[in-house]
Structures are given as structure tokens and as C-alpha cells.
């Protein structure tokens, strides 16, 4: 195998897909009337639901600012980012509940749903921080730090002003979720890059996230990362949620850890991240049909989630990012092989050469469950363009052509 040619060919395809994805969302997703982004788009880009995801306002706001950071400012990218940030600021904060952010709103910004989770705040922080990094607008950094601190406080025992409380009755069952330290670790990486004034704080909190992940969620005896554990990290293997493994989530976490390892020079952490990737992809890859299963049970028992054997776009995006980073950082050919295997699967099943963008949801056999859709409340301009940017940049670093 001519490795350099494989990398160059892969990079060319990735760059073309990035162009297609960005143009698809700019053309079809941006709302010129009320601002922000629609993400419920059909295969051709027509809006099939006007409700707006607050997560996606932050994620879209971040991706278009990040494009400016990586490739240089373009007016249409900066305008798209600003539109999402302005829409969030005007409509997505619940001022009667401590400014906690909503989960969904109408197209003109009227509140629809409040959730107990803090991920709206996380993506708001990312978007505002990235936009500040591009423009230098101090108000954006202030909002980013406010949202990041809200997330940090709520995820470390702070009282939720919405009053929604935990999912389960705490006297019966409390616990920890892997997503909480993992997501804020990624957010902190953005803040650290654009806001060196608070570098010491960010470094301390980032390391705390890493420590929490390994102290509570990484289980070498089970060869997995558990999504849900007891408060002290004890596995809860007596019910289905306690045995749940989300291989794509683990792989996403592995490259967040790799980024932290790069910032700190922690070579041991590179090895630990590689181990997480190995466990997840070996347990989650479907040997019969190809692609990564959505959920698996750490003991091989029946998963309860009805979508457990579906193939979703975003875990495959995470494989592409993490495998290429691991190939760069370890030189181990198996990671290049996983990259190529996954890229081939994505080309065959997710990419749509006729109308552009990727399908989001496949049956186990690789056929789209919703062949007429390209977006949803949870799928917008985030995982795919982020993946394509990261892979483009990483291959460039490997080839010395960044």
C-alpha cells in the first residue's frame, strides 16, 4: 500500500465532502427571517419541521466560527455563526429559571421544551468562545465563560434553577454520567485556545475531567467505558443502563483525551486513549454487516434500547477523527486500516452523491431508516463538518502539508 497516496486520496475526498456539507447547510439551513439554523431538512434540503434545536444553534454557531479559525474568515461563515449566536441570545435563555437554556424553541424563538441536561450551555460556550477567538468581541467571551461556568457548577453538585431535578429518585439511585466530564473537556479545549488569560483555571479543570473519566468510568476489567456508574464509580451491572456501552461515545472521548495529551505532552495518556479506542471498536464493529453498532451491553446481555443495532453517522465521524489522530501519534498501521475501513463504509452508506450531505440513521444492514432526511433535532452542521475539518488537518500534519 502506498500510504502517502492513500492519505492524499482520502484527504481530497474529505475536502470535497466538507465543501459539499458546508454549502448544503448554508443554502438550506440558515433562516433569513428569524435567524439561527433549521436542522430538520429532507434529502434535498427542504425544511420539514420549523422547530429549532438549541443544541444546534450552538453547534452551528461553533462550526462556522471554527471554519473561519482554520481556513480564514469568509463573510458567509461569520454571518452564519453570528446569526446562530444572536438567535440564542435573544430567544434561548429561560430568564425565569436562572437563565438556564431551553432544548427546543419555535422558529421565531418561543420556548418549547426545557430539559435538565446542560448541553445547550456547553455548545453555547463553545460557539461564543470560538466567535470571540475570530472577532475579539469581549461580550462573546463573557457569555462563553458564563455558560461554561453554569455547566461546571451544575455538573458538580450545583442546584438547578429549573427545579427539574435528576432523572431518578436520588434516595433510590444516584450516579455519574460519562458525558458530563467528556463534553466539558472538549469545551475547555476551545476556551483554553482563545482565552489565555484564564489558562491556569482551564488547565486545572481539564485535568480534573481527565481524572474523573479514568477514576469513575474507565473499566479495564470489563474492557470498556461505562456510560453510567454509581457516585463512587462502582459498576452497576444489575440493570441495563448500568451495563450500557456507547462505542461511538467512547471513541469520541478518546480523541478528546488525545487533544489533552497534546496540550500537556502526556504520552501515557496517548496510550490510554488508544486502549479506549481499541476496546470500543473491537466490541462495537458489526462483523456481519460492517459499521459501528450504536449501543452494546458490556456483559453481552440484550441491550434494552430499540436503536441499539442501528448505524448512526456521528460514531463513524468519531472513528475517522480518532483513528487518524492515533495513526499520527502512534504510527501503528492498524489505525490507518480502521480509518480506511470506516471511510469505505461511509462512502458506501452515509454519503449521498446526488444531493450532498450524509444520511444520519441507517438500519443494521446499512440502508437509511429515513432515506428522505439529512437533518433532525440532533443532526445538523456539526459532527460531519467537524470530522472533515479534523481529518483534513490531521492528514496534512502527517504529510507535512498542513
**pLDDT at residue 32 above 70?**
yes
Contacts of 70 (CB under 8 A, 6+ apart): 389, 393
Contacts of 64 (CB under 8 A, 6+ apart): 77, 78, 80, 81, 84, 381
What's the whole-number average pLDDT of the chain?
97
pLDDT of 62 reads 99
59's grid cell = 453547534
Q: What is the CA radius of gyration of the chain?
A: 20
Number of domains in the chain: 1
Percentage of residues in the chain having pLDDT higher than 70: 100
- Domain region containing 252: 173-365
pLDDT of 170 reads 87
SS3 state of residue 163: coil
**pLDDT at residue 309 above 70?**
yes
Over 78-136, what HEC string results?
A: HHHHHHHHHHHHHHCEECCCCCEECCEECCCCCEEECCCCCHHHHHHHHHHHHHHHHHC
pLDDT of 1 reads 66
Could you tell me which of 155, 179, 331, 183 has the C-alpha nearest to residue 256?
Answer: 183
Instruction: Tell me if 373 is assigned to some domain.
Output: no
Instruction: Tell me if 166 is assigned to some domain.
Output: no
Bridge partners of residue 41, in order along the sequence? 47
**pLDDT at residue 355 above 90?**
yes
CA angle 238, 243, 248 (to 5 degrees): 170
Q: How far apart are CA 369 and CA 34, in angstroms?
A: 31
Mean pLDDT of all residues in 253-259: 98
Mean pLDDT of all residues in 92-113: 98
8's grid cell = 492524499
Q: Please, what's the b/e burial string for 36-64 (b: 16 or more CB within 10 A of its CB; e: otherwise)?
A: bbbbbbbbebeeebeebbbbbbbbbbbbb
Q: How far apart are CA 386 and CA 380, in angstroms?
A: 11
Contacts of 332 (CB under 8 A, 6+ apart): 274, 326
Express each pLDDT in 116-164 by its tens digit. Answer: 999 999 999 999 999 999 999 999 999 999 999 999 999 999 999 999 9
CA angle 373, 379, 385 (to 5 degrees): 105
CA angle 122, 35, 184 (to 5 degrees): 5
Sign of the dihedral defined by the CA atoms of residues 319, 125, 93, 33, in that order:
negative
pLDDT of 207 reads 98
Mean pLDDT of all residues in 272-281: 98
Mean pLDDT of all residues in 170-187: 95
Contacts of 108 (CB under 8 A, 6+ apart): 34, 91
Instruction: Tell me if 3 is assigned to some domain.
Output: no
Percentage of residues in the chain having pLDDT higher than 90: 96
**pLDDT at residue 246 above 80?**
yes
Instruction: Tell me if 341 is assigned to some domain.
Output: yes
Q: How far apart are CA 113 and CA 124, in angstroms?
A: 17
Q: Please, what's the b/e burial string for 132-144 (b: 16 or more CB within 10 A of its CB; e: otherwise)?
A: bbbeeeeebbebb
Confidence at 167, pLDDT banded by 50, 70, 90: confident
pLDDT of 241 reads 96
Instruction: Tell me if 284 is assigned to some domain.
Output: yes
Mean pLDDT of all residues in 264-292: 98
Q: How far apart are CA 19 and CA 292, in angstroms?
A: 25
Instruction: Tell me if 87 is assigned to some domain.
Output: no
pLDDT of 22 reads 98
Comparing 27-36, 199-208, 227-236, 369-378, the range with the smallest average pLDDT is: 369-378
Instruction: Tell me if 359 is assigned to some domain.
Output: yes
Place of cell 444516584: 174
Could you tell me which of 282, 144, 228 has the C-alpha nearest to residue 293?
Answer: 282
pLDDT of 101 reads 98
Mean pLDDT of all residues in 163-179: 91
- CA distance from start to end of the chain: 22
pLDDT of 358 reads 97
pLDDT of 351 reads 97
The secondary structure of residue 36, as a DSSP letter, is S
233's grid cell = 464509580
Confidence at 303, pLDDT banded by 50, 70, 90: very high
**pLDDT at residue 323 above 90?**
yes
The domain that contains 214 carries what CATH number?
A: 1.50.10.10
Instruction: Tell me if 218 is assigned to some domain.
Output: yes
Confidence at 77, pLDDT banded by 50, 70, 90: very high
Amino acid at each position: 500500500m502506498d500510504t502517502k497516496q492513500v492519505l492524499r486520496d482520502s484527504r481530497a475526498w474529505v475536502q470535497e465532502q466538507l465543501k459539499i456539507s458546508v454549502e448544503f447547510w448554508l443554502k438550506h439551513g440558515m433562516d433569513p427571517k428569524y435567524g439561527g439554523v433549521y436542522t430538520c431538512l429532507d434529502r434535498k434540503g427542504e425544511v420539514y419541521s420549523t422547530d429549532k434545536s438549541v443544541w444546534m444553534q450552538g453547534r452551528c454557531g461553533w462550526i462556522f466560527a471554527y471554519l473561519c479559525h482554520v481556513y480564514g474568515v469568509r463573510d458567509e461563515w461569520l454571518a452564519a455563526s453570528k446569526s446562530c449566536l444572536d438567535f440564542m441570545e435573544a430567544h434561548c435563555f429561560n430568564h425565569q429559571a436562572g437563565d438556564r437554556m431551553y432544548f427546543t424553541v419555535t422558529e421565531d424563538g418561543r420556548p418549547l421544551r426545557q430539559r435538565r441536561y446542560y448541553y445547550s450551555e456547553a455548545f453555547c460556550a463553545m460557539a461564543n468562545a470560538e466567535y470571540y477567538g475570530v472577532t475579539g468581541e469581549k461580550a462573546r467571551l463573557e457569555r462563553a465563560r458564563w455558560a461554561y461556568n453554569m455547566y461546571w457548577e451544575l455538573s458538580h453538585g450545583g442546584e438547578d434553577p429549573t427545579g427539574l431535578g435528576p432523572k431518578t429518585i436520588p434516595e433510590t439511585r444516584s450516579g455519574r454520567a460519562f458525558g458530563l466530564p467528556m463534553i466539558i473537556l472538549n469545551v475547555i479545549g476551545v476556551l483554553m485556545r482563545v482565552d489565555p488569560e484564564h489558562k491556569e483555571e482551564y488547565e486545572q479543570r481539564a485535568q480534573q475531567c481527565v481524572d474523573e473519566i479514568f477514576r469513575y468510568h474507565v473499566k479495564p476489567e470489563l474492557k470498556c467505558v461505562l456510560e453510567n456508574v454509581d457516585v463512587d464509580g462502582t459498576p452497576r451491572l444489575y440493570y441495563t443502563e448500568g451495563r450500557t456501552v456507547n462505542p461511538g461515545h467512547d471513541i469520541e472521548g478518546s480523541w478528546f483525551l488525545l487533544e489533552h495529551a497534546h496540550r500537556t505532552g502526556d504520552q501515557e495518556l496517548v496510550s490510554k486513549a488508544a486502549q479506549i479506542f481499541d476496546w470500543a471498536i473491537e466490541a462495537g464493529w458489526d462483523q456481519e454487516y460492517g459499521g459501528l453498532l450504536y449501543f452494546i451491553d458490556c456483559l453481552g446481555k440484550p441491550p434494552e434500547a430499540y436503536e441499539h443495532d442501528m448505524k448512526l453517522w456521528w460514531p463513524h465521524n468519531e472513528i475517522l477523527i480518532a483513528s487518524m489522530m492515533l495513526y499520527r501519534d502512534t504510527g501503528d498501521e492498524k489505525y490507518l486500516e480502521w480509518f480506511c475501513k470506516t471511510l469505505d463504509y461511509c462512502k458506501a452508506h452515509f454519503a449521498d452523491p446526488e444531493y450532498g450531505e450524509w444520511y444520519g440513521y441507517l438500519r443494521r444492514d446499512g440502508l437509511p431508516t429515513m432515506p428522505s432526511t439529512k437533518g433532525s433535532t440532533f443532526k445538523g452542521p456539526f459532527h460531519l463538518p467537524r470530522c472533515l475539518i479534523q481529518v483534513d488537518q490531521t492528514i496534512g500534519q502527517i504529510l507535512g502539508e498542513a
